[in-house]
Amino acid sequence: MVETTPDIQGVRIAGEYRLVRRLFPEGSIYSGYNIFTRMDFVFKILPTDASPNTLSNEYRVYQELAGTVGIPRVHWFGTERQCNILVLDALGPSIEDLFLQHGHRFSLKTVLLLADQMITLLETLHQHNYIHANLKPGHFLVGLGPSNSTVHLISFGLATHYRDAKTRLHLHSPASFTAANNIYFASSNAQHGSRQSRRDDMESLLYILIYLLSGVLPWQAFDGPRALESKVSIASSILCKDLPEAFSEYHAYVRELGYEDKPDYAYLRDLFHKVASREGSRYDGCFDWVAELPTSSATAIGTTRRARSLSKDRT
């Protein structure tokens, strides 16, 4: 659910940032800039009494992942005018936006390149004892200018520890909150309301990759219960029909993972590397969109597209 935020357009934040405008009437995302450097930023704003307090949780995750390639930098987090405010790098469009611009389908090469970076991003997140728990194409963004071939992961409001950072023991208590609206890409366990672990992120990622390559998921026309039934019962051969065998192998593998099992990230990457080798595709960063995006960082796309992706997270 999107919390109602006060209209604080034009307000100065933390003495150095200026909010330009709310990007969507009902949203919590603003564009803005640093008044000294004139650099653009994205501002995610929620009332301090918002429930659940996902912005504070998101800030903690960003802090723990600071310095990681593909994770936006937090420039400021604090409270002003009874709102929690998170100031983040302005990035380029989301994978969802690019997918729509390309006729609801990417080339095989682009999906292979995405898989490689996305698996690595999730591996890094899991190494920090977190799972994302709300993966979707709109939560992966590309960078601006020369970084438009680097994939970034955002929207950690529902991210949660899957194990204790000190003992390394897995947690088994009920999850605090779930992404109930993420029917298309949620794992079957998540949609069932079970506590998630690393396997669930990897399952969600597979659904994203299939969607980006084929343009559709078998359960898209179903409501929640029927979508769940489809995810649980569907055979790999049906889900991955007409796709390279690596996708069905990935599906079979992730289905066998137990709650505490560590995914073999190298194995999953290698599945797609073998496809790339057979296809003669190089890991050169030449995604379908690379030649189309502006080369200058002084562009509104990093603000408007990113805000659109963030605003779609109704949690």
- The H or E element containing residue 31 is strand 29-34
pLDDT value, residue 312: 45
**Contact predicate 26/7, CB 8 Å:** no
Same domain, 17 and 105: no
Closest CA relative to residue 201, chosen from 244, 284, 261: 261
Is 184 domain-assigned?
Answer: yes
Same domain, 269 and 149: yes
DSSP state of 94: B
Name, in order, each residue with C-beta under 8 angstroms of 67's C-beta and a sequence gap of 6 or more. Answer: none
Same domain, 198 and 64: no
Is 7 domain-assigned?
Answer: no
pLDDT value, residue 175: 63
pLDDT value, residue 290: 87
Spatial distance between the Cα atoms of 65 and 77, rounded to a whole number of angstroms: 15
**Contact predicate 98/305, CB 8 Å:** no
- The H or E element containing residue 18 is strand 17-22
Is 59 domain-assigned?
Answer: yes
Q: Rounded to two decimals, what is the model's pTM?
A: 0.89
DSSP state of 78: E
Is 169 domain-assigned?
Answer: yes
Same domain, 116 and 259: yes
Same domain, 77 and 99: no
Beta bridge partners of residue 153, listed in sequence order? 140
Same domain, 35 and 157: no
Domain count for the chain? 2
Range of the domain at 151: 95-279
pLDDT value, residue 291: 72
Is 290 domain-assigned?
Answer: no
Q: Which amino acid is at 304?
A: T
CATH number of the domain bearing residue 75: 3.30.200.20
Spatial distance between the Cα atoms of 250 and 131, rounded to a whole number of angstroms: 19
Give the SS3 label for residue 13.
Answer: strand
Same domain, 82 and 159: no
CATH number of the domain bearing residue 205: 1.10.510.10
Same domain, 64 and 128: no
Q: Which residue has the tokens 């709650």?
A: 259
Is 266 domain-assigned?
Answer: yes
pLDDT value, residue 303: 42
Q: Identify the domain boundary among 90, 106, 125.
A: 90
Same domain, 81 and 99: no
Is 292 domain-assigned?
Answer: no
Same domain, 101 and 243: yes
Q: Identify the domain boundary among 46, 74, 90.
A: 90
Beta bridge partners of residue 12, listed in sequence order? 18
Is 133 domain-assigned?
Answer: yes
Same domain, 169 and 57: no
Q: Identify the domain boundary among 60, 90, 120.
A: 90
pLDDT (tens digit, 0 to 9) for every residue of the chain, 315 residues total? 444 566 677 789 999 999 998 876 666 889 999 999 999 999 999 998 887 778 999 999 999 999 999 999 999 999 998 999 999 999 999 999 999 999 999 999 999 999 999 999 999 999 999 999 999 999 999 999 888 999 999 999 999 999 988 998 998 876 655 655 788 999 999 988 888 999 999 999 999 999 999 999 999 988 878 999 999 999 999 999 999 999 999 999 999 999 999 999 999 999 999 999 999 999 999 999 987 766 544 333 344 444 444 444 433
Same domain, 58 and 119: no
